[in-house]
Structure 1
Amino acid sequence: MIIGVDVGTSVTKASLLNRDGTALVTHSMRSTLQRLPGGRVEQDLEEVIDSVVQVVREVAAAADEVGEPVEALAITGQGDGLWLRDHQGRPVGPAISWLDARAADVLDRWGESGVQRRVFRLTGSGMFPGSAGPLLAHLAEHAPERLERAAVAGYCVDAIVQRFTGEITVDASDASLPFLDVPTRSYSTEALRACGIEEYRRLLAEPAPPNKLFALDGKSAKNLGLPAGLPVSAGPFDLPACAFGSGVGKVGDGSLVIGTTLGCQVLREEVSIDPHGEVAGMWLATPLPEKYLRVMPAMVGTANLDWVLNMIGARVDQLETLLGNSKPGAGGVSALSFLSSSGERAPFVEPHARGQFSGLSLETTQADLVRAMCEAVAYAARHNLETAGLAGDVSACGGGARSAAWSQIFADVLGRPLHVPYEEGVGTRGAAMTAWDSLGEPVDRELWAAARRTVVPHPSAVEFYEHGYRDYLDSIDRARPQWGTTP
C-alpha cells in the first residue's frame, strides 16, 4: 500500500491506497488561508507541515492495524505561488499563495512592455499574478531582503519534501511555470532575463528526473509514524496528479477539476506554442515520457457557487433542488463568472476581469441566479478545454463533480460524456500512481480508470447550450474592453 497526501489550498488529505486504486481510509485537516490588504493571500508553512504530519500519522496508524506494509509516501499539492525557504527548509516569510494578487501591477507592466508575450514564446507559460515570475519581480522591488535570505524559491510540495527528507528539489510539473523549457526540462535563461530577475536563478532548484525517489529522514519518520528511509515520491503537483488519478491516459483526453478554481487539462504528445495566440495557460512536464499536459487553470470554480449561494442565503446541500427549479437558460439570465480578485488567467490573462449577471428581471428567481452561474462556469470549462485541444474523453473530479445536476450541465455544455471517478481523492491517486511507477511496480491504469460513473449529455440540452456558448463568447468579447486592457 501507499500513503498518498494531497496538500490543498485549505485542506490537507491523506489516504491509504490499495493497488486497485481504492482508498481504505482517509483523514483530512484544514489549514488557514490568510487574506490580507493589497490582494495578499498567504499561508504559514509550519501550519501546513503540521497538517501533513497529523493526517499521515492517523493514516499510518490505520495501516498498522491493517497489517500491510506501506511501500512509499506519495506527496502532491497546490502549485504556483512562492514558498521561500532557507537551506534547512525553514520559511523565509509567509508562503505566498497562488491566489495572491500583489503582483498584478507587475503583470500589467509586463503586458504593456511585451515581457509576457516574450516569456510565453520561450516557455509556453502565460503568467498570472500568483505565479513565480511576477512574484519574484515584486519581491525584488519591494522586499529584496527576503530574496537575499532565501536559499530556494519553490512551491508547496517541494517545501514539504525538503522538510521530510532534507533534499532541495522540485518536480518538473511545478517548475514548468514560468521559466522551464518543458521538452528539455531546463530553465530558460532568456525568460529569466526578460523578467529582469536573472540574478535569482540561484533560487530555482533543478527539476528532479522522472521516477526520482527520496528517503524519509529519521526525525520526520518518527513524527509521521513511518519507518526511516521510506521512499518519498514528490509530485506531480495537484493539477496533473488529478488528471492521471481521474483516468487521463490517451493523447487528447481531458481532465476537469471542479474545485475552488477550474483546472482544465488535455494530454498532448508534443509542446506546440502559438506565438500569436492568447498569452495564457501553461505546458507541464509530466511523469510520462514525451507526454505533456496543456493546462488552462481558470480562476472560476466552486468559489463562484459558494459566492452566489451565500448571496441568496442558501446552502450547498440545496444545490440539486435549486438547479431543478430553473430550466436551461436560467429564465433568460446569463452570467460571466470572473469573480476572483486577481481576475482571470485562462484561457486569457486579464487581472482586471470581473463578473456580471445580465438579463435580470422582476421574474428572476434565486434558482435562476444559481443556474446562470453554474452554466457560466460550464461555458468556461468548454472554452478552456477546447483551447487546450480536447479530442478524447473528459474526466471530472473535485467538489463540483459531486453534484449530479451540475455534472449534467457540464456534460450538456461540453456535448460529450463526463466520466466521474467513484474515488473522490484523485489527487492522492495520481500521486500514488506515480510512486508505484517510480518503484518499478506500475498499476493497472485501465482498471483504475474504469471505476467511474458516466454522465451522458441530453441531446436537446446540447443543442440549446451550443447557442448559449456562442452568446457567452460574445459576452466576453464585449466585456474585455471594459476591463481596461487589450489581449
Structure 2
Amino acid sequence: AANWLDGRAAERVKQWDEDGRAAKVLEVTGTTTFGGLFPVLIEELAATQPDVVARATTHLNCKDWIRFKLTGERLTDYTEASRSFLDVRTTDGFSAELAKDLGLEEYARLLPQIHRADGKAVPLSEEAARETGIPAGTPVGVGMIDVAVTGMGLGALENGDSWLILGTTAFVGTLLPSVSERRSDLSMVLATGNGKQVLEFMAPMTGTPNLDWIRKVLGLEENSWTELEKLARMSKPGASGVVYLPYASPGGERAPFLDTNASASWAGMSLTSSTEDILRSVYEGVAFSLVECINTLQIHSDLVVSGGGFRSDLICEILADATGQTVV
C-alpha cells in the first residue's frame, strides 16, 4: 500500500506541471497534484512495478479497503472519488475524458462504484464476523474521508462552516456551495455527495510529526508533552528570532504552497539560540503554517479545532494570537 506521504512520484509531479496534466486535474477534480494522488501514483507504480499493477483489480483507499474486508463489497464515496477522476463540477461520476487526457484510461478499470456516504449500508459478512466477533449482518456504512467526517462530527454541515485538524497531517477546510466558489487554486476540493457542495481545504503534509521529530532530535523523548510545552514556554514569542519551516515530508509540501523540493529548515539561528528557542520555533512553525492556510481560504469565523495536536495549549494560543480569532 502507498500513502499520501509517498515521495516516489515527486519527479512526475514536476512533469505534470510542465506538460499541462496537472492543470487538467485541477480543472476537473479541483485538486492540486502531489506525489500521493492516485493518478500520479498509479503512473509511477505502472512504470516501476508493472506486474503489481497488472494484477490489481481495484483501487481502494484505507476505509474502503477495510469495508471491503468487512463486507466483500468494493465501493467508495464522493470524497474519496474526488482524489482520482471524479468531475467535481457536476459530481456525475468519474471523468473518462480526464483519464484519457492524462494517458491513464487503462487504469479507470480500477475505480470502484461511487455511493453516497448516507446511502444503504452493506451487511457484515459471515467471514468477517468470525474474524472480528462482530455479529454477521451488522450494517457497514460507506462513510467519508476522515477529514470530511470529522467536520460533520464538529457540526460543520452548512456552506461556510469551517474547521481545523492537527494530526499526522494538518488540515484547514471550509464548505462551499460549488467548486466555482473556491478561494485558491492551491487548495484541494472534495465533493461531499450533497449536490454540488464541496469541501475546499489545504492540508500541510506533516503536522504533529514535526513535534515528534524535534522531541527525538533534542533527546527529550523521556519528557512528557506537558514538560516539553513548559520548556518551549521558557522562550519568548518569536523564539528569539529562530524560525522553523515545517515542511518535513520526503515528498515535499502541498500546502500552503506546492513544492516537491520543499524541506524543513531553520533560519535565524546563532550561537545564542537555546534548546528552548529551537523547541518553541517548531511549535510556532506548525501553527504559522495553519495561519497561512486560514488566510488563503479567507476563514474569518471562530476556529473550530480537532485532532491530537490541538491538545497543546501552546499551539492553540499561538494560533489565536496570530489570527486574532477565537479557538474553540
What is the letter of the counterpart of residue 418 of structure 1?
Answer: V
In structure 2, how many angstroms separate the alpha carbons of the residues matched to 1:247 and 1:200?
37
Determine the structure 1 residue equivalent to 2:244. Answer: 335
Contact 2:91 2:196 in 1 (8 A): no
- Deviation readout 1:1-53 (Å, 9 max, x if unpaired): xxxxxxxxxxxxxxxxxxxxxxxxxxxxxxxxxxxxxxxxxxxxxxxxxxxxx
- SS of residue paired to 1:152: coil
Shift of 1:287: 5.2
From 144, 154, 162, the counterpart of 1:236? 144
Contact 1:334 1:358 in 2 (8 A): yes
Contact 2:247 2:264 in 1 (8 A): yes
Higher strand proportion: 1
Contact 1:125 1:178 in 2 (8 A): no
What is the letter of the counterpart of residue 101 of structure 2?
Answer: A
Determine the structure 1 residue equivalent to 2:235. Answer: 326
TM-score (norm 2): 0.92
In structure 2, how many angstroms separate the alpha carbons of the residues matched to 1:302 and 1:254?
21
Alignment of structure 1 residues 392-411 onto 2, 5 Å: 392-411=301-320
- SS of residue paired to 1:186: coil
In structure 2, how many angstroms separate the alpha carbons of the residues matched to 1:312 and 1:200?
46
From 50, 70, 73, the counterpart of 1:144? 50
In structure 2, how many angstroms separate the alpha carbons of the residues matched to 1:338 and 1:232?
37
Shift of 1:406: 1.8
Shift of 1:361: 2.1
Shift of 1:256: 1.3
Gap change, CA 1:197 and 1:105, over 3 Å in 2: same
Contact 2:253 2:262 in 1 (8 A): yes
From 197, 205, 208, the counterpart of 2:115? 208
In structure 1, how many angstroms separate the alpha carbons of the residues matched to 2:31 and 2:272?
44
* Unpaired segments ≥5 residues, structure 1: 1-94, 420-487
Shift of 1:102: 1.0
Determine the structure 2 residue equivalent to 1:363. Answer: 272
Shift of 1:210: 4.1
In structure 2, how many angstroms separate the alpha carbons of the residues matched to 1:391 and 1:234?
32
* Unpaired segments ≥5 residues, structure 2: none
Shift of 1:206: 2.0
- SS of residue paired to 2:203: strand
Alignment of structure 1 residues 257-276 onto 2, 5 Å: 257-272=165-180
Shift of 1:289: 4.6
From 188, 198, 201, the counterpart of 2:105? 198
Shift of 1:274: 6.9
Alignment of structure 1 residues 50-69 onto 2, 5 Å: none
Aligned residues: 323
Determine the structure 2 residue equivalent to 1:447. Answer: none
From 393, 414, 417, the counterpart of 2:323? 414
Shift of 1:346: 1.6
Task: Note if 1:383 corresponds to 2:289.
Answer: no
Determine the structure 1 residue equivalent to 2:219. Answer: 313
Between stretches 233-242 and 184-193, larger displacement belongs to 184-193
Contact 1:185 1:207 in 2 (8 A): no
Task: Note if 1:123 corresponds to 2:29.
Answer: yes
Q: Which runs of 4+ in 1 moved over 4 A?
A: 287-290
- Over the aligned positions, Cα root-mean-square deviation in angstroms equals 1.9
Contact 1:257 1:397 in 2 (8 A): yes
What is the letter of the counterpart of residue 324 of structure 1?
Answer: R
Gap change, CA 1:245 and 1:287, over 3 Å in 2: farther
From 151, 154, 160, the counterpart of 2:66? 160
